[in-house]
Chains A and B, each alone.
Chain A
Amino acid sequence: MTVTTTAIAGAEELEDLRLSVRSLLADKSDESRVREVMESDLGYDASVWRQLADQVGVQSLAVPEHHGGAGFGQVELGVALRELGRALVPGPFFSSVVLGAGALLAAQDESAMAAHLPGIAAGTTLATLAVIETDGQWRTHGFTTRAREDAEASWTLDGEKSLVLDAVGADLYVVAADTPHGPGLFLVESGAAGLEVTGLRALDPTRRVGRLTLTGTPAAALGRPGNGTAALEHLLDRATAALAAEQVGAARACLEMSVAYARQRVQFGRPIGSFQAVKHMCADMFTRLEVAEAAATEAARAVDGLPDAPPAGEAAAVAHAVCSEAFMFIAQQTIQVHGGIGFTWEHPAHLYFRRAKVSQLMFGGPAVYYERLLERWGV
């Protein structure tokens, strides 16, 4: 892989970044705003998106400097993702900045990066990744979507892509397809001939999902056709490390919410947090979160190639498993600590529960991520 990180933030810079994202979101994207926009047509707040780009530069953090980014790595991106996860901010951040930009970087296609990364970094281009097909499996090879090259060396795609994050409204699709040379990645622009984009009813209203139908759709090869599997495996490390940061950010919000409620809710004449049954639930959530936090941190350091970090493939796979399990567990316990109120639509607990399940499944789910971990170790 090429080195894309040229800047490293110190502890103080990271804290500044965290505070500026947190205060912007607290101000502009509180729970009531999130609920408003998640039910809107667009699905997110375009002005929050713009402010994240213009005021903090969140979209550009991990984009290389020579492509219009800040040149930071996963560690810095992770700080912002924790905050976005914490506030369950709807919007194409994960799809465009993590998956879209990540796919461009993983494919190492200089001209495609030069063409599209500056727009993604500025928040003006929305990219997303289309890998999963109608069987719902996340895979890195064996696609039924076919890419054909004509005499003029132009490519067209035929097939159906499902469970594509933020498909509706994206400007640019990175589509995985089989070619005569093996799996490849292709760029399809919105509005391309034969491209049909449909929104699907989603489990998590803060994370939109859609379907692409490609019928003789013109596409540009991203990297060398046949290199798709390697690029997707590499992207998966980056994406799961990023997801882990989002997961621990959201899980921490759940723990804080649960602890605050357990301190204040009185039953049998005392705060329920004084009962060991509830206190120990919170302690278990804390313990799982500490381990998940460590895994997410180590995965980011590993993807950035820090000298004392473990191999990226290992750390990302560990983080994906541990953070997925931890967030799901903590989201469930959050509802239990809250009791009846936690089961209402009005309470935010279900939004975290939904996000936890979606995060756990979007790259394959437990059976896949545990097996992937063993594969990364050659077991």
Chain B
Amino acid sequence: MTASAPATPATPASPTASSSSIEAFVEEASAFLDEHATRRPTGTGRVVWGEGEDRISYFGDEPPEVDRAKVDAARAWQRTRHEHGFGWITGPTEYGGRALSPLHDLVYDQLEAGYDVPDTGVISLIGLGMIGPTILAHAREEIKQRYLPAMFRGDAIACQLFSEPGAGSDLANVATRAVRDGEEWVLNGQKVWTSVAHHAELGMAVCRSDPSQPKHRGITAFLVDMSLPGVEVRPLRQMTGGAEFNEVFLTDVRVPDDHRLGEVDDGWRVTMTTLMSERASVGGEGAGPVERAVSRSYLTAMLEAMGLSRDAAARRRLAEVLADLTATGYLNQQSLRTLLDGRAPGPEASASKLMFSHNLAAASHLAAEMVGPRMIAETGDWGTFSWNELLLGTPALRILGGTEEIMKNIIGERVLGLPKEPGTDTKAPFRAPTGEQS
């Protein structure tokens, strides 16, 4: 999982990309999309109770073969994009990018949202969005040339080997050891909550290289080939029943020194690059099963279907949920307008993230209240038991990508300027060498 930070564009805008070229870009991108994808039907989005797919889940929770097929489709679509110059719109040309501005990137995303294309989140959210920029900023030239084009072509999926059993919100507490041995490093430790590791060719590992230094120092980051001996990925079954995350065990994994990201013992700074690169995802596509269910149309249809149209308590709860949901939508649209106007987004993105998990949880519990006892077992009735998948997924939304508490610290400290909590373990050595466990 990733800690969240205010989103910043992944790569700097090219000075050659002016707003006047946007029109030509739109034309080119539209032509590409028209040729390689089909437009989504522009329906009203109105839900008719009992019609359509009855599957509402935030996490995939699908059988492995279905999951694998979706990843293959994502890779294929990413390759098609890349071949036509839309694989890495903001990237430097020497690594296969187009060197256009973040605005071009945003415009492309907006256009693509109108087409029925495979979801490439498995490749883009972490690999292209966060690890790509880190490699660009901190890797050696030959490593950039070797991996960046492959990643943006969809050939290499990357994961974050960050969280550990003892390092969740306190990421700087990582204990996975990296010991230098000539031109190699030997990695030993356990990573956890690693998204997409089961599909990944690459991992970015944050390791303890010098335990005698305070915890934020003495960290070194590496790019790890996930096929190396000693890398073992085990699925982690989460409370929904599915396994979207993994545990990754590193046992005497030998990583060449040229795969090091940044300087020795300077890995915390490298890690910050990764976390600060989290892409702004505003606006949303609004076409997924969650967006369809957590909507005014669906929930009001449910009110009627459950015979609650005249129930004052249900109406009140529904109105409260829809008011927040609609206002959060306004907030996202305003952020998007800001970005499309070429202005920097404000701190509202952090508010939007907190509201997102709040709204999904509130809607799920409202749905459960409206459905009533039919939520407790599969009766075969449309739009009832199916809500459990989303309901069971909502606790994760308050944890992943930085817990709600960490998000609130970030808002309090970086946005509002409140003082940090005095750290009790930021000055002392991470671990006294004698007490160290291997």
Contact = CB atoms under 8 A, between A and B. Distances in A.
Interface stretch (A40-48, A191-199, A289-297): A289-297
A12 to B, nearest CB: 13
A345 interface: no
B418 A322 contact: no
B40 to A, nearest CB: 20
B419 A294 contact: no
Interface of B: 296, 300, 303, 309, 315-316, 318-320, 322-324, 326-328, 330-331, 333-334, 337, 347-348, 350-352, 354-355, 405, 407-409, 411-413, 415-422
A262 interface: yes
Contact of A318 (B316, B323, B334, B419): B323
Chain A interface residue number, banded: 35 or more
B417 A276 contact: no
A379 B348 contact: no
Majority DSSP secondary structure for residues of B touching A:
helix
A32 interface: no
A377 B411 contact: no
A292 B348 CA distance: 11
A371 B412 CA distance: 35
Contacts of A33: none
B319 A370 contact: yes
Given A287-B354, A294-B348, A373-B319, A274 B422 contact: yes
Majority DSSP secondary structure for residues of A touching B:
helix
Contact of A373 (B322, B408, B417): B322
A321 interface: yes
B408 A291 contact: no
A290 B328 CA distance: 9
A275 B421 contact: yes
A370 B413 contact: no
B408 A259 contact: no
Nearest to B350: A287
8 contacts: A273-B419, A274-B418, A315-B330, A319-B327, A370-B316, A371-B315, A374-B315, A379-B315
B209 to A, nearest CB: 31
B334 A297 contact: yes
Nearest to A286: B411
Contacts of B330: 294-295, 297-298, 310, 315, 318
A161 B318 CA distance: 33
B331 A294 contact: yes
Interface core residue of B300, B319, B320, B420 (most chain A CB under 10 Å): B319
Nearest to A321: B323
Contacts of B334: 294, 297-298
